[in-house]
Amino acid sequence: MSGDAWKEGGIDATGALMVLTLKVISCAINYSDGLLKEEGLRDAQKKYRLAKLPSLVEYFGYCLCCGSHFAGPVYEMKDYLDWTERKGIWAGSTPSPLLPTLRALVQAGICMSLYLYLSPRFPLSRFSEPLYYEWGFWHRLFFQYMSGFTARWKYYFIWSVSEASVIISGLGFTGWSDSSPPKAKWERAINVDILGVELAGSAVQLPLKWNIQVSTWLRYYVYERLIQKGKKPGFLQLLGTQTVSAIWHGLYPGYMIFFVQSALMINGSRVIYRWQQAVSNSVLHTILTLLNFAYTMMVLNYSCIGFQVLSFQETLASYKSVYYVGTIVPILCVLLGYVIKPARPVKPKARKAE
């Protein structure tokens, strides 16, 4: 329950404890998967299962590895063991990490500069001031957008620093690209795609661009394990995953509201995306593409107010100030998805054998 410290710009041990929680859980589940037969396991389970119990030194080394201990990124025990023992992709010569590390550090400097410039101009305290409620609807909605935009640069900064530390250790190396000549990839260290978040064309893309390694963890250890065998995933699996994420962040109403909102946001965006894919008219397709982008930016920055202010009263007051537009629009999109169903593409008939 340290959200108040984070809300005011403070930093404490809970960031490290959040990362540690994910590592402990994934390590335990991977060892549990290692006791099962491979038949019936998903690809991720087969890839990361542990055939034997790690030693205490290996376990504590993985949990407390200094490069990622404070803010992530989260990675798998199997990758950590291969890195320390120089196995797998680390068995041969590995590329120099200096240039990718420098790039991450420059990115961190830019992110912190932007945050320090913007945060005094769009303070969170404004949501509880009478001035905010004197503004018109569009002014309040713009402030919500800028508030969310400003807050994200703080996270971009710390993840860029963590990315630099994981890259320079060598652990961030994930192999070589298929291009000619091949280029080194450092994807294990990347926790955010800044342009991917800020220019996301659909809310569905956000988990793939923001806190990437935690999103991957949630997919492997929560979302996929909530899907019953032989059935397709739906809204309940998404809602369950987002609820786990909310509890992991902390027992504040603002977190719970934000993650329930984000499940709604993603579902609504999926509906618009299905409409996009169904239309053949290029003008209409462009309009729907722009609509999905505007929808994503509006609902994301509306929703993330709860993540920032945390309290139930402040969250509802800020939502009410813009007439709950970021809640109503996703619900309308989902309901319209049941009414306006895009036609399925016609499958070509199989040719009869001559």
The reply to whether 111 and 182 lie within a common domain is: yes
DSSP 210: S
* Cα separations in angstroms, 257 against 224, 232, 269, 335: 23, 26, 18, 20
Instruction: State yes or no: pLDDT of 196 exceeds 50.
Output: yes
Query: Is 220 among the domain residues?
Result: no
Instruction: State yes or no: pLDDT of 8 exceeds 90.
Output: no
Instruction: State yes or no: pLDDT of 261 exceeds 50.
Output: yes
For residue 145, give the nearest of 78, 198, 91 by alpha carbon: 198
* Cα separations in angstroms, 288 against 162, 265, 273: 37, 16, 8
Q: Is 290 helix (H, G, I), strand (E, B) or coil?
A: helix
Instruction: State yes or no: pLDDT of 194 exceeds 60.
Output: yes
For residue 257, give the nearest of 297, 310, 301, 214 by alpha carbon: 310
**Boundary (domain end) residue, out of 92, 107, 134:** 92
Please state the domain count of the chain. 3
Confidence of residue 106 (pLDDT cuts 50, 70, 90): very high
pLDDT digits (tens, 9 = 90+) for 26-44: 999 999 999 998 888 888 9
The domain of 140 spans 93-192
- What is the four-CA torsion angle of 217, 222, 224, 227, rounded to 10 degrees? -170
The reply to whether 126 and 257 lie within a common domain is: no
For residue 278, give the nearest of 268, 266, 269, 288 by alpha carbon: 288
> What percentage of the chain exceeds 70 in pLDDT?
94
**Boundary (domain end) residue, out of 69, 92, 115:** 92
The reply to whether 236 and 338 lie within a common domain is: yes
Rounded to an integer, what distance in angstroms lies between the CA atom of residue 265 and that of residue 263? 5
Query: Is 16 among the domain residues?
Result: yes
Instruction: State yes or no: pLDDT of 192 exceeds 90.
Output: yes
pLDDT of residue 11: 66
Query: Is 278 among the domain residues?
Result: yes
Query: Is 218 among the domain residues?
Result: no
C-beta of residue 237 within 8 angstroms of C-beta of residue 223: yes
Query: Is 103 among the domain residues?
Result: yes
pLDDT of residue 344: 60
The tokens describing 274, both together, are: 């299905």
Average pLDDT of the residues in 332-337: 94
**Boundary (domain end) residue, out of 61, 92, 123:** 92
Identity at 338, one-letter amino acid code: Y
Query: Is 247 among the domain residues?
Result: yes
pLDDT digits (tens, 9 = 90+) for 286-315: 999 999 999 999 999 999 999 999 899 999
Neighbours of 143 (CB within 10 A): 20
pLDDT digits (tens, 9 = 90+) for 68-100: 888 889 999 999 999 999 999 999 888 999 999
The H helix count followed by the E strand count for the chain is 17, 2
pLDDT of residue 350: 44
Query: Is 33 among the domain residues?
Result: yes
Q: Is 36 helix (H, G, I), strand (E, B) or coil?
A: coil
Q: Which residue is listed with tokens 């988990």? A: 207
- Non-local (6+) Cβ contacts of 211 within 8 A are 72, 155, 159, 191, 192
Average pLDDT of the residues in 148-153: 95
pLDDT digits (tens, 9 = 90+) for 318-333: 999 999 999 999 999 9
Q: Which helix (H) or strand (E) holds 337?
A: helix 325-339
- Higher-pLDDT residue of 351, 52: 52
C-beta of residue 166 within 8 angstroms of C-beta of residue 68: yes
Instruction: State yes or no: pLDDT of 348 exceeds 60.
Output: no
Confidence of residue 172 (pLDDT cuts 50, 70, 90): very high
- Residue 190's region, left for phi above 0, alpha for psi from -120 to 50, else beta, is beta
The reply to whether 102 and 80 lie within a common domain is: no
pLDDT of residue 301: 96
The reply to whether 231 and 331 lie within a common domain is: yes
Instruction: State yes or no: pLDDT of 345 exceeds 70.
Output: no
Q: Which residue is listed with tokens 């390694």? A: 213
The reply to whether 277 and 259 lie within a common domain is: yes
The reply to whether 121 and 206 lie within a common domain is: no
Query: Is 351 among the domain residues?
Result: no
Any idea which residues carry the catalytic annotation? 249
Confidence of residue 112 (pLDDT cuts 50, 70, 90): very high
Confidence of residue 119 (pLDDT cuts 50, 70, 90): very high
Q: Is 268 helix (H, G, I), strand (E, B) or coil?
A: helix
- Non-local (6+) Cβ contacts of 208 within 8 A are 193, 196, 215
Q: Which helix (H) or strand (E) holds 175?
A: strand 175-176
Confidence of residue 9 (pLDDT cuts 50, 70, 90): low
* Mean pLDDT for all residues in the chain: 91
The reply to whether 122 and 135 lie within a common domain is: yes
Question: Could you tell me the maximum CA-CA distance found in the chain, to the nearest angstrom?
Answer: 79
Sign, CA torsion 243/248/254/259: negative
The reply to whether 229 and 316 lie within a common domain is: yes
pLDDT of residue 92: 83
The reply to whether 13 and 144 lie within a common domain is: no
pLDDT of residue 135: 96
